[in-house]
Structure 1
């Protein structure tokens, strides 16, 4: 991965934000001194009917959220935010412009994916798969409720989270069976 974009990619996978949300973040949207540090997601890049880009609302009302940032990510963000104005974009191209999806995908995503495939990667991951990876980590860790994961991802409903990631919760099947077994002990005695 191009060195300039590594922190951006790590931000996507460590926060589960959508590409258009992450690229719309401004320095003022992150608070690296808070405990925990946070990113306030309240906008995203959109296209109007003439295919011109503008900053608008998140995909859903639930997409407007504050995300806690892990310490390793904070360490990566400190040098980026240190000497920049609050109105500056957090992540930019090498010339300071907005990161556009298609050019980023063509020039900075596909080449490292092809390199990884030459070294044995059998899949062809999309940028959006970083969001799925993040959600999968949260589900499989078991430390967060599905409701909390849903809110972190900005899903309009917990049902969306459950439908997309529920298959990653095999322990939930066992937990349900165990709870039922405990509940019927009084009946069987």
Structure 2
């Protein structure tokens, strides 16, 4: 550590920060000041930061390099679909704004300005919050790489979201929907019936093969999920470890599946395709269908009669829960059937669908009068 007076009257501070483990050379920092006292204060602060392991690293990484490091780690530790979402969001929404930025100089003020610009684009608040979550993770990576000492996103609050009312079909509405499906659309009838009476996620349903159905025990073995990335089928583990489960299904649903299996075998024979128990249950071409096919078909079917309002494909899962609640099933049973990580998740998402118990409690108090 030293302070040297230069010929122009300024003071140059020179501080040693130990050995760089990558180069095996001494790590030094230098800075010039007008006053000697400022140089002394800087040396003291720099050494204090270094000792507390908060010193900014020597690596001068730009945004693109950090982005590549972040995505590389994301690809290594997460499912392909998660990685693709990260990659798309960063390239679409974050890179254009930050590609020429000086990472070390970004403050919460710039982050708030960026959030405001996203609002001006007309994106939904939910989408903006998702972008900000990824941006925060990106700066966490910058901290990990010792490029910055603190995350400028840390103090930025999420935008408030309007809670939308959950949509679901009652058994009567579902029956009306099923009746609108034509005879030559039998596979769609089976798919939507299966989704309504199991509450499985779409990716879990599409991943099923005939081997996953135990018709004797009347159970479905759920341990994988299917998605498409760049038109290629990707099979991954389900959403969480609790999503790996076996659920019971009713006898009529088993019969419906067996009827479709026979029809599927005839269809494969017609196209001279080999059929086996390793075939995806809802496959009707040379490979499993995409989620979008079933999402679009709901709207098409509902347009045939204005008595049935279209819902999203994921709302079949909500409809199944509403059905179970109507059947007076408890939280624990519903949690296990849906594959939630905890009963708190089930209550947080679906608690409002349960009947109000306060009325029953108040009525019982009448017996004490």
Corresponding residue SS for 1:115:
coil
Q: Where do 1:141-160 residues align within 5 Å?
A: 141-142=327-328, 144-160=329-345
Which residue of structure 2 aligns with residue 109 of structure 1?
Answer: 298
Q: Where do 1:52-71 residues align within 5 Å?
A: 52-71=232-251
Which residue of structure 2 aligns with residue 166 of structure 1?
Answer: 351
- What's the offset of the Cα at 1:99? 1.7
- What's the offset of the Cα at 1:43? 0.3
1:100 to 272, 275, 290: 290
Q: Where do 1:124-139 residues align within 5 Å?
A: 124-139=310-325
Which residue of structure 2 aligns with residue 43 of structure 1?
Answer: 224
Which residue of structure 2 aligns with residue 7 of structure 1?
Answer: 190
**In 2: Cα distance, 1:59 partner to 1:111 partner:** 29
User: Is 1:86 matched up with 2:271?
Assistant: no
**In 2: Cα distance, 1:43 partner to 1:175 partner:** 42
Q: Is the 8 A contact 1:39 1:68 kept in 2?
A: yes
Which residue of structure 1 aligns with residue 108 of structure 2?
Answer: none
**In 1: Cα distance, 2:205 partner to 2:285 partner:** 18
- What's the offset of the Cα at 1:177? 5.3
Q: Which runs of 5+ in 1 are unaligned?
A: none
User: Is 1:120 matched up with 2:310?
Assistant: no
1:102-151 C-alpha deviation (Å, 9 max, x unpaired): 23323x222112223xx333x33111111111011111211x22011011
The TM-score, its normalising length taken from structure 1, stands at 0.80
Which entry has the higher C-alpha Rg, 1 or 2? 2
* Structure 1 stretches of at least 4 aligned residues deviating more than 6 Å after TM superposition: none
**In 2: Cα distance, 1:86 partner to 1:177 partner:** 55
Corresponding residue SS for 1:23:
helix
Q: Is the 8 A contact 2:228 2:290 kept in 1?
A: no
- What's the offset of the Cα at 1:95? 2.1
2:207 to 10, 18, 24: 24
**In 1: Cα distance, 2:307 partner to 2:242 partner:** 38
Corresponding residue SS for 1:109:
helix
RMSD: 2.4
Q: Which one has more relative contact order, counting CA pairs under 8 Å at least 6 apart? A: 1
Q: Is the 8 A contact 1:140 1:168 kept in 2?
A: no
**In 2: Cα distance, 1:43 partner to 1:17 partner:** 11
